[in-house]
DNA sequence: AAAAATTCTGCAAACCGTTGCACAAGGGCT
DNA sequence: AGCCCTTGTGCAACGGTTTGCAGAATTTTT
């Protein structure tokens, strides 16, 4: 194993000079610095991060915390893309991505605490934004840096990255009404009252108003209630859903009564392969990978100031595909 | 920050004694060991893993490598469950889960190499089993321990965990023919020729033979070919698919010609929420979380011998839900 | 030419554990 | 009493890197 001592010896300098040269310390002359860096690169020297971490008192790792319950099945592909985006940023910084994932909140907290206490991990990304979250509380109390995915509790002003759900709602609805020529849309949401659903609905409502169209809305849940709703609204000729699953579920119920085909649906966050439905399914792409990127950049913004000054939050735009 | 020196001082012993006591070294008397462990626990002492790793020359981390292509959407929920299973085992061992995930094979390899060289990670789990995989080659060449999820290349005898796909195929087919009383089943698979699909098909074929039923099979792909297939086989009264997506896609095409309802489908690895289809959808559960558990146990089997001797591979049974 | 200021480099300690080796204490044996 | 063996403990070095401080070398100033 090649150590910094070997490099120092080959370069004919002391270990401390080598160390400083490799870390671009301005106290080492430009010439020496370059010479040593070239040498190190040529020899294939790579620093031992365990040693680095020991002296730094901080690990070169970012903790990524998954929500406890997998309930949110629809979000799964989203998580993977987030991981991609985050890791792409981390490798550049010679950081490693460590995940905390557990069945219960208790275990999860222990997992995170151990990362902090034993592993000296000082930076985290939370894959959820809950109110009164014990993990977030703990991190705040320890004065550790973290970014949440999704807009968190307003009262602490934590760092977060979120979609611009309002704009995405506006964009999706405009596409549905304008491009797909839908006259009698229905907005379909889950029965969870999630914040992002409200925001998307608000966007939809605004566009509906602009197009002079009735902003019909249906919340999923008890099937017969939904069926009754559909019976009452035979005029529906297009669906805007908060995600693919909700959209397709509503469509299935709709087709129990009316024989339609190639029916226009606009949803968010494409999470299903084509070919699963004969609907004319469009999706507002929310770029989870970009969210991962942005979250990481924000997480390191204490060291590496952001290009554009931002107030501790980033909103990712959307696109329709 | 509480260090081992503090504990040693409070206990009135030397640092080395404290270290040995905490690591259950038999050279320290039972009495002293217990006394020091109690004290450490009471004081809330937690060892610094960066220091431990430095002396050990190995990090307390397992690298989890995702396949490059995200396209494999169907498998996503599976990955999350795997992570769960793995992490549950790791926390017990005071290990951390580090992921490597990248868009391109090149970057992924670099990612892994950096984990090894800089991070001193010595154990890996691969979330795929490809032939001639550069990552696996690299790990073998470095004599590092790794376990693949799914049965790998036979010629190297790597460690792996896989489903018992043959048995699962038998189980699923039996359920379809016996419980759901299907007389004219069709086995639907993707056009990727994946190994697990062959194995499941083999199970299906055996059961078909036993039930004296024609082992009809259809490979997805070009839609009109599939439609023609369906036209030729109006007798089909049940589907066995290699995953939910394939099953539902075939079902959709089927319904273009025949108006069926509550149609029996048996697939594998439930990855869709109910409510998306009106088919009578059953799934053979392959317990990805258990696979994660097993993979981890296998990964550490050099230190912690397995309860039941196994030949470097574990097969996870299935259940039908 | 000498002094001062500036720039560059090296020594050694520090980070926090583990571990080889030596030594001390205690017991049993002849 | 003297010796050996066993058991328990401590000293000090080690792992690979960073960094405060001091000293050497070079340049600038007077």
- Model pLDDT for residues A281-301, shown as the tens digit of each residue: 999 999 999 999 999 999 999
- Residue carrying the six token digits 């070997």: A6
Instruction: Give tens-digit pLDDT for B181-216.
Output: 999 999 999 988 888 899 999 999 999 999 999 999
List the structure tokens of A267. Answer: 């949803």
Q: Which residues of B touch A111 (CB under 8 A)?
A: 87, 91
pLDDT of residue A7: 95
Per-residue model confidence (pLDDT) at position A308: 74
Q: Closest partner residue to B118 among A59, A70, A94, by Cβ?
A: A94
- Nucleic strand D within 7 A of Cβ B55: yes
pLDDT at A216 over 80: yes
Helices (DSSP H) in chain A: which residue ranges?
A: 4-11, 15-22, 30-43, 49-56, 76-92, 105-117, 134-141, 165-174, 195-210, 223-232, 244-257, 288-299
Is B169 found in the same domain as B158? no
Q: At residue B14, does pLDDT exceed 60? A: yes
Same domain, A169 and A145: no
Q: Which of B115-119, B145-149, B152-156 has the lowest mean pLDDT?
A: B152-156
Instruction: Say what the pLDDT of residue B94 is.
Output: 97
State the Cα–Cα distance between residues B168 and B192, nearest whole angstrom.
20
Question: For residue B178, how many C-alpha atoms fall within 13 Å in the half-sphere facing its CB?
Answer: 10
Query: CA torsion A303→A306→A311→A313, rounded to 10°?
Result: -90
pLDDT cut 70: percent of chain A above it: 96
On whether the CB atoms of residues A260 and A286 are closer than 8 A, the answer is no
pLDDT 10s digits, B95-137: 999 999 999 999 999 999 999 999 999 999 999 988 889 999 9
- Tell me: the pLDDT tens digits for B232-265? 999 999 999 999 999 999 999 999 888 888 999 9
Residues B81 and B157 in one domain: yes
Whole domain around residue B67: which residue ranges? 61-163+289-316
Q: In this predicted structure, what is the pLDDT of residue A311?
A: 64
Compute the distance between CA of residue A183 and CA of residue A177 in angstroms, rounded to an integer: 7
pLDDT of B73 reads: 52
Q: Which of residues 218-237 of B touch strand D (CB under 7 A)?
A: none
Helix/strand/coil for B35: helix
Pair (B158, B67) in one structural domain: yes
Rounded distance between C-alpha atoms, residue A120 and residue A286, angstroms: 33
Is B56 inside a domain boundary? no
**A214 contacts A204 by C-beta, under 8 angstroms:** no
* Token reading at B68: 């490059």
Residue B256 lies in a domain: yes
| Judgement on whether residues B239 and B260 belong to the same structural domain of the protein | yes
What was the pLDDT predicted at A72? 46
pLDDT tens figures, A39-96: 999 999 999 999 999 999 999 999 999 998 754 455 677 899 999 999 999 999 999 9
Q: Total domain count for chain A?
A: 3
Q: State the Cα–Cα distance between residues B185 and B122, nearest whole angstrom.
A: 47
- Write down the pLDDT at residue A49: 97
Is A218 inside a domain boundary? yes
First to last CA, chain A: 50
What digits encode the pLDDT tens for the residues A122-177? Answer: 999 999 988 889 999 999 999 999 999 988 777 788 999 999 999 999 999 999 99
Proximity of residue A114 CB to strand D below 7 A: no
A98 three-class SS = strand
Whether B90 has a pLDDT exceeding 50, the answer reads: yes
Do B133 and B194 lie in a common domain? Answer: no
Whether A258 has its CB under 8 Å from any CB of chain B: the answer is no
Distance CA B173, CA B171 (A): 6
Residues B127 and B71 placed together within one structural domain of the fold: yes
**Nearest chain A alpha carbon to B52:** A50
What is the predicted pLDDT for the residue at B154?
Answer: 75
Residue B54 lies in a domain: no
Q: Are B166 and B203 in contact (CB under 8 A)?
A: yes
| CATH code for position A194 | 3.40.50.2300
Say yes or no: A41 and A140 in one domain: no
Question: Which bases of chain C are under 7 A from a protein CB atom?
Answer: 7-12, 14-20
| CA dist., res. B15 & res. B19, Å (int) | 6
Indicate whether A144 and A251 sit together in one domain.
Answer: no
- The pLDDT value given to residue B91: 97
Bridge partner list, A161 = A149, A314
Determine the Cα–Cα distance for residues A290 and A164; give it in Å rounded to an integer: 13
Q: What's the average model confidence in pLDDT over A175-181?
A: 96
Q: Would residue A55 count as lying in a domain? A: no
Q: Which of A245, A315, A241 is nearest to A284 (CA)?
A: A241
Q: Using the predicted structure, report yes or no on whether residue B24 has a pLDDT greater than 80.
A: yes
Same domain for B184 and B274, yes or no, is yes
Q: How far is B64 from chain A (nearest CA, A)?
A: 10
Mean pLDDT across A248-276: 89
B280 domain-assigned: yes
Q: At B72, is the pLDDT very low, low, confident or very high (cuts 50, 70, 90)?
A: very low
Q: Is the pTM of this model over 0.85?
A: yes
Place of tokens 């097993």: B294
Mean pLDDT check: name the lowest of A270-274, B73-77, B140-144, B313-317. B73-77
Q: Which nucleotide is nearest to A17 (CA to C1')?
A: C9
Distance B312 CA to C14 C1' (A): 44
A180 and A276, same domain (yes or no): yes
Closest CA to B148 of B256, B316, B299, B261: B299
In whole angstroms, give the CA distance from residue A93 to residue B109.
Answer: 16
pLDDT at residue B309, as a whole number? 62
Is B184 among the domain residues? yes
Q: Residue A250 domain-assigned?
A: yes
**How is residue A203 written in tokens?**
């966007």
B90 shares a domain with B119: yes
């Amino acid at each position: 194993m090649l150590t910094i001592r070997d490099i120092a010896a080959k370069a004919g300098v002391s270990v401390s000079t080598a160390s400083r040269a490799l870390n671009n310390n301005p106290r080492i002359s430009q010439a020496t610095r370059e010479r040593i860096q070239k040498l190190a690169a040529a020899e294939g020297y790579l620093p031992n991060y365990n040693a680095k971490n020991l002296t730094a008192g901080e690990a070169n790792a970012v903790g990524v915390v998954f929500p406890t319950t997998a309930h949110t099945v629809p979000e799964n592909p989203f998580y993977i893309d987030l991981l991609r985006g985050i890791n792409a940023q981390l490798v550049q910084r010679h950081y490693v991505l460590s995940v905390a994932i557990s069945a219960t909140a208790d275990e999860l907290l222990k997992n995170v605490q151990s990362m902090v206490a034993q592993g000296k991990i000082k930076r985290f990304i939370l894959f959820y934004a809950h109110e009164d979250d014990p993990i977030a509380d703990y991190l705040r109390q320890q004065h550790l840096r973290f970014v949440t995915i999704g807009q968190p509790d307003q009262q602490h002003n934590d760092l977060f990255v979120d979609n611009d759900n309002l704009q995405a709602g506006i964009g999706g609805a405009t596409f549905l009404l304008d491009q797909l020529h839908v006259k009698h849309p229905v907005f379909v949401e889950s029965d969870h009252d999630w914040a992002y659903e409200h925001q998307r609905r608000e966007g939809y409502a605004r566009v509906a108003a602009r197009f002079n169209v009735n902003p019909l809305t249906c919340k999923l849940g008890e099937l017969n209630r939904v069926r009754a709703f559909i019976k009452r609204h035979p005029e529906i000729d297009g669906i805007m859903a908060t995600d693919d699953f909700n959209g397709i579920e509503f469509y299935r119920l709709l087709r129990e009564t009316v024989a339609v085909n190639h029916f226009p649906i606009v949803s968010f966050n494409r999470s299903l392969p084509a070919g699963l439905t004969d609907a004319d399914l469009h999706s507002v792409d929310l770029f989870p990978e970009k969210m991962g990127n942005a979250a990481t950049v924000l997480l390191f913004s204490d060291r590496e100031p952001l290009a554009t000054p931002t107030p501790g939050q980033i909103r990712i735009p959307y696109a329709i595909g």
